[in-house]
Structure 1
Amino acid sequence: MLTIRVTDDEHARLLERCEGKQLAVWMRRVCLGEPVARSGKLPTLAPPLLRQLAAIGNNLNQTARKVNSGQWSSGNRVQVVAALMAIGDELRRLRLAVREQGTRDDS
């Protein structure tokens, strides 16, 4: 048996990532390297939207690399990291909305 402590925010993020599966089962699969089956199909997205999302992801990765390179002052890094975290939260919400739309499309 294994017990871990997480913050309320971390717990919410874990529940979000396990997509409605039992958290313990999902964590075992992820931690032990077993494939995790998706619940439901993702909806088809318009190619222009996919290109735009890919561009946003590329920009975020470039920004993260720049922050991690140590070329910015600590104050600037803190501001950028805070902005990246906010963007990450918004992207998680977008991902959930897309998955919920896919669930509604399947019915």
Structure 2
Amino acid sequence: MPQENRTKEIKIRLTEDEHQALLDRMEGNQLATWIRKTALSQKIAKPYKNTDPKLLASLGRIGGNLNQIAKQANTLDKDTDKLRVFAQLTVIREQLNEVLDRHDR
């Protein structure tokens, strides 16, 4: 099978340290060949998973709860009020753990 002619060129600028780092990592004796093989053999991971709409809805509800707590926290004078806020925070933490557990499956 004949080799395809390479007609495209990419020019990059490197610092002395970057160039040396590539030479140190290089396998074989040609830097360009190693860079091409390395770059073309890498699988490119999707940066984001598709997000489940149920997850987004759950997070929206939790965000609403957080807004309610923030409003309450701005008006606290009594210790009993503070305890109520801490109780609500505990509920939110449990909700977040449930959402994360479902999302990890």
> TM-score under structure 1 normalisation?
0.39
The one of the two structures with greater contact order (alpha-carbon pairs below 8 A, sep at least 6) is 1
Q: Which has the higher helix share?
A: 1
Greater Rg by CA: 2
